[in-house]
Amino acid sequence: MITISGLSHSFGKHEVLKDVSLQVKDRTIVGLVGINGAGKSTLLRLISGVYVPQQGEVLYDGKSPLDEKTRRDIFLLPDDPYYSGQTSCRSLMKLYKTFYPAMDTNVYKEIIDDFRLDDKKPLRTFSKGMRRQSFIALAFAVAPKYLLLDEAFDGLDPLAKKKFKDRLSDLIRTKGTTVIISSHSLKELGDFCDEYAMIDEKHLIGSGKVLEDTLDICKFQLAFKAQPTEDMFSAFDIKSIKITGRFVTLVVSGDGDDIEKKLAALSPAVMDRLDVDFEEAFIGDLDRKVRGEG
Amino acid sequence: MSVTKNYFVYHMKRILLLIGGGGILSILFMMSAFMLTRYDYRYERIATYSVAEPGTIMMIVMCLACFLPILQFYEFKNRRNLDTWFSLPLSRRKIALIHYAGGAALITAISLICTVTGTIMMADQGLKHYSVGYLWLFFLLSTLFALAVYTFMTFVFIEANNVFDGASMEMMWLFLPICAVYLVILIIGAITMDDVFDDSFGFRLAEMITSPMIFSEYLSDVSGDMINTGYHGESYYAPLASSDADPSVYITVVLIVWGVIAAASVFLLTRSFAKKKTELVGGVTDSVIGYRFWLPVASVLMILLTGDNSIIRLFMMGMIFFAYLVYRRGIKTFKKADIIFLSVATFFAILPIDYIRVLRGFFG
């Protein structure tokens, strides 16, 4: 289990994370979501031992990632991993084999072949997606107990994304790996994470098993006999609102049952509760903040 | 094998490749040095030789001593690289030591290759002009000195937050300490009314300790004289220091001092590498052994060592200002202390006063 407690971190006077606490159970995939600059990468660096926490602590079954022995069970795939000008897939495999002696080189070769990557060509000649594939192959070959992925889907084509997700599920099933995966592309995480944690403005603003729980939001579609206006919903904590003719699509923060009762008081002709489109809600929330309404 | 041994072996294999490439270049340099050496027989002894072989070896190893810290540690001056490096299951201290050891192995190997090449070339020439034993003694001394300089320069480079600052700080440590010695000697001379520049044993020693270049030249010149024996087995001796001190005294003292510096540097470089905040890498270097220390010192040295020439001083203050711009990465980030210091220094630089002469007048 990964236990993050009271984690705060600043770059000079700029506070990036404040009092972040989270527990990640074994054999789960946790999606770490937030906009660019929210602090996802900083949190992953703190979790992996790259940064030393200024306040709070991170523990893996009671052990600190600042100890090299703990890091034997951790594999961080950063947003932009290190490779030199001459590094090829083959030399990358040799380098990582020195750090992770139990790494399965056959798995690495198999994935590289699957992605149709030339293992002798320098990585600098690869596209961003191909480079990402070569590092993803490393992560699966290492098969660590804890896998930390920063913007792992970045640059991957749809087929590569599907292969990646399938392999990740296999890894958790066969090796019992715990995964924390960060992304700002929320659609990518929507269909396969066990839990979600959302970071915004230094804080972890929510975590839970389903997206709605994470944000404490719900979504409704309503139809009115008369033309509705935004003012009608001023009593609600609106995350996003879309009015098309007499139809209203509403994402609201708060308790779902309470909101449903209040909306029913507005006498809509039709009212349906929908699954939350997380990205839409998230972006709506941001829009409001940008407009100074949040 | 443990991860530490694995990575040590992996890194040393990379160093082996560099030794191969660097070795070939060094052999070519050494062969050229021997081929260009010309002897002029006068008064039954060798009067001149145009290229000193020890000088070639010294030049190669000293260049390595200054360049290898950059080669071994530049990867750690990019914050994004550190995401990978520092999440790997190897402590920062061990990473630093392995990379440091790689550079040290490279210096030793290249120095050895040069010395073996020298020995072969001397044997090829029938050994009549040479004393090969001294060449091997020189190998030992020059390698030890180069390793000590490399160790210190590695510490200096690691203290920087980016490659450019690291290289700049190495340059500062190469050239500025000797200027400080000159200034101290000038001040002592002004106070005691003695000319202590040329004849003083202490001055020569301070000069050699604070300037790796001066000691390198001294060591290779002395060794050159010992190695290049004359036609009748006599050594051509050019008095290198006007004091009567035995060269072995200078060499021993300098090597002991640099040995202590190197031992401290090994401790400091691993500590600095392990403790450095990852998030500061790539940004402004604010180390106490970098710009923060040397820019004010360089300003004072420049004002005191340039006599009363205000024009040269103003030009040099311009350079110091530029150095501050580099240090702070722009004028907006200047601190109050920087502005106050630059203003005061410029004021004293503008005044057409030879401050050392004033000091001499004061004590005279």
Q: Do B86 and A49 touch (CB under 8 A)?
A: yes
Mean per-residue pLDDT over chain B, rounded? 87
Considering the domain boundaries, does residue B167 fall inside one?
A: yes
Q: How confident is the model at residue A197 (pLDDT cuts 50, 70, 90)?
A: confident
Residue A34 phi, psi dihedral angles, 5° rounding: 170, 160
Residues B241 and B181 in one domain: yes
Sign of CA dihedral B198, B202, B204, B209: negative
Q: Do A50 and B90 touch (CB under 8 A)?
A: no
Residues B260 and B325 in one domain: no
Amino acid sitting at position B294: W
Residues B264 and B355 in one domain: no
Residues B235 and B195 in one domain: yes
Q: CA A67, A68, A73 angle in degrees (round to 5)?
A: 105
Residues B206 and B167 in one domain: yes
Considering the domain boundaries, does residue B79 fall inside one?
A: yes
Q: Which domain holds residue B347?
A: 290-364
Q: What is the pLDDT of residues A80-99, one digit of tens each?
A: 888 888 899 999 999 999 99
CA distance A172 to chain B (A): 21
A139 pLDDT higher than 50: yes
d(CA A188, CA A194): 13
B254 pLDDT higher than 90: yes
Considering the domain boundaries, does residue B161 fall inside one?
A: yes
Which of chain A's residues have a Cβ under 8 Å away from the Cβ of B87? 48-50, 71, 74-76, 78, 148
d(CA B256, CA B246): 16
Which of chain B's residues have a Cβ under 8 Å away from the Cβ of A102? none
Residues B307 and B273 in one domain: no
Q: How confident is the model at residue B243 (pLDDT cuts 50, 70, 90)?
A: low
Q: Do A99 and B91 touch (CB under 8 A)?
A: no
Among B220, B245, B279, the domain-final residue is B279
Residues B165 and B313 in one domain: no
By Cβ distance, the residue of B1, B75, B91 closest to A68 is: B91
**Interface mutation target, options B17, B71, B83, chain A, most CBs of A under 10 Å:** B83
Which of chain A's residues have a Cβ under 8 Å away from the Cβ of B80? 78-80, 82
Residue-level pLDDT at B258? 97
Considering the domain boundaries, does residue B308 fall inside one?
A: yes
Among B237, B254, B279, the domain-final residue is B279
DSSP class of B245: -
Amino acid sitting at position A121: K
Residue-level pLDDT at B36? 74
Q: Do B83 and A72 touch (CB under 8 A)?
A: no
Q: How confident is the model at residue B142 (pLDDT cuts 50, 70, 90)?
A: very high
Which of chain A's residues have a Cβ under 8 Å away from the Cβ of B90? 68, 99
Which of chain A's residues have a Cβ under 8 Å away from the Cβ of B82? 50
Q: Do B10 and A50 touch (CB under 8 A)?
A: no
Considering the domain boundaries, does residue B285 fall inside one?
A: no
Mean pLDDT for the stretch of residues B322-330 = 91
Residues B114 and B237 in one domain: yes
Considering the domain boundaries, does residue B284 fall inside one?
A: no
Yes or no: say if B257 and B53 are a contact pair by the CB < 8 Å rule: no
Q: Do B75 and A82 touch (CB under 8 A)?
A: yes
Residue-level pLDDT at B227? 80
Q: Do B89 and A100 touch (CB under 8 A)?
A: yes
Element (H, E) at A30: strand A29-33
Q: How far is CA B67 from CA A238, B147, B170, B196, in A?
A: 61, 12, 9, 34
Q: What is the pLDDT of residues A217-250, one digit of tens each?
A: 788 899 999 899 988 998 888 878 889 999 999 8
Q: Are strands A74-77 and B45-49 parallel, antiparallel or unpaired?
A: unpaired
ipTM of predicted assembly, 2 dp: 0.82
Q: How confident is the model at residue A209 (pLDDT cuts 50, 70, 90)?
A: low
d(CA A69, CA A145): 13
Q: Do B87 and A72 touch (CB under 8 A)?
A: no
Output the furthest CA–CA distance in chain A (Å, rounded).
70
Q: What is the pLDDT of residues B57-83, one digit of tens each?
A: 899 999 999 999 999 999 999 988 999
B51 pLDDT higher than 70: no
Yes or no: say if B280 and B77 are a contact pair by the CB < 8 Å rule: no
Among B253, B279, B305, the domain-final residue is B279
Yes or no: say if A214 and A207 are a contact pair by the CB < 8 Å rule: yes
Which of chain A's residues have a Cβ under 8 Å away from the Cβ of B7? 98-99
d(CA A159, CA A153): 11
Total domains present in chain B = 2
Residue-level pLDDT at A191? 72
Q: Give the residue, A20 or B192, on which the prediction is more confident.
A: A20
d(CA A198, CA B293): 45
Residues B170 and B84 in one domain: yes
d(CA A47, CA B124): 63
By Cβ distance, the residue of B78, B80, B89 closest to A99 is: B89
Mean pLDDT for the stretch of residues A139-157 = 90
Which of chain A's residues have a Cβ under 8 Å away from the Cβ of B89? 68-69, 71-72, 74, 99-100
Considering the domain boundaries, does residue B329 fall inside one?
A: yes
Q: Do B3 and A79 touch (CB under 8 A)?
A: no
Q: Do A71 and B3 touch (CB under 8 A)?
A: no
Residues B272 and B295 in one domain: no
Residue-level pLDDT at B1? 66
Residues B189 and B226 in one domain: yes
Which of chain A's residues have a Cβ under 8 Å away from the Cβ of B86? 49-50
Nearest of B256, B259, B168, B254 to residue B211 by alpha carbon: B254
B21 pLDDT higher than 70: yes
Residues B262 and B334 in one domain: no
Encoding tokens for residue B140? Answer: 């030992």
Sign of CA dihedral B196, B211, B258, B111: negative
Q: CA B72, A119, A164 angle in degrees (round to 5)?
A: 105
Element (H, E) at A5: strand A2-11
